[in-house]
């Protein structure tokens, strides 16, 4: 996901899973993603020897755009708009701490989705032209 300085979501990838592809194609409703029998299957894993990289149009990051790469442990437990609201402003270290706390709390509640939780944030700094 790429979020701009003002909170506008500029890009969000399709989850690399049969359920993610089903939702993207319109075959499955997004609401079923948390309860579908195959929700735990993934088709692309960072670090796996058979991992493939999808090539698409480049996305140029503007100053202060934030890039997030995360596992479904985050997106299965927090709505995308909540995630966006934390990552587009303030220090990214603080956003990571707050999102981690919120996701773990959500996992522990009844109806939560306990899972691994992985997040990486990168924010493009502003560089003054010389």
Domains of the chain: 2-123 (3.60.40.10)
Residue that is written with structure tokens 């993603």 in the block: 33
Q: Are 119 and 68 in contact (CB under 8 A)?
A: yes
Residue 130 buriedness (CB in 10 A; 0-12 / 13-18 / 19+): exposed
pLDDT in the model for residue 105: 96
Q: What percent of the chain has pLDDT over 90?
A: 41
Residue that is written with structure tokens 């560089």 in the block: 127
Residue-wise pLDDT tens digits, 90-113: 999 999 999 999 999 999 999 888
Residue that is written with structure tokens 């924010």 in the block: 123
**Higher local confidence (pLDDT), 49 or 67:** 67
pTM of the model: 0.78
Tell me how far apart the alpha carbons of residues 94 and 104 are, in angstroms, rounded to a whole number.
Answer: 15
pLDDT in the model for residue 71: 86
pLDDT in the model for residue 121: 96
Residue-wise pLDDT tens digits, 117-128: 999 999 998 877
Give the H or E element holding residue 3.
strand 2-3
Tell me how far apart the alpha carbons of residues 81 and 96 are, in angstroms, rounded to a whole number.
Answer: 15
Residue that is written with structure tokens 């058979």 in the block: 50
Q: Are 40 and 64 in contact (CB under 8 A)?
A: no
Measured from the Cβ of residue 123, the count of other Cβ atoms closer than 10 Å reads: 19
pLDDT in the model for residue 127: 77
pLDDT in the model for residue 45: 72
* CA 28 from centre of chain: 19
């Amino acid at each position: 996901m790429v979020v701009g300085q003002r909170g506008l979501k500029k890009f969000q990838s399709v989850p690399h899973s049969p359920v993610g592809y089903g939702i993207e194609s319109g075959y499955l409703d997004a609401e079923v993603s948390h309860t579908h029998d195959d929700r735990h299957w993934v088709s692309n894993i960072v670090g796996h020897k058979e991992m493939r990289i999808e090539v698409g149009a480049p996305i140029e990051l503007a100053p202060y755009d934030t890039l997030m790469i995360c596992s479904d442990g985050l997106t299965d437990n927090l709505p995308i708009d909540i995630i966006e609201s934390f990552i587009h402003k303030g220090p990214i270290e603080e956003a990571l701490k707050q999102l981690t706390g919120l996701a773990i709390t959500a996992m522990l509640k009844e109806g939560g989705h306990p899972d691994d939780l992985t997040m990486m944030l990168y924010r493009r700094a502003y560089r003054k032209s010389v």
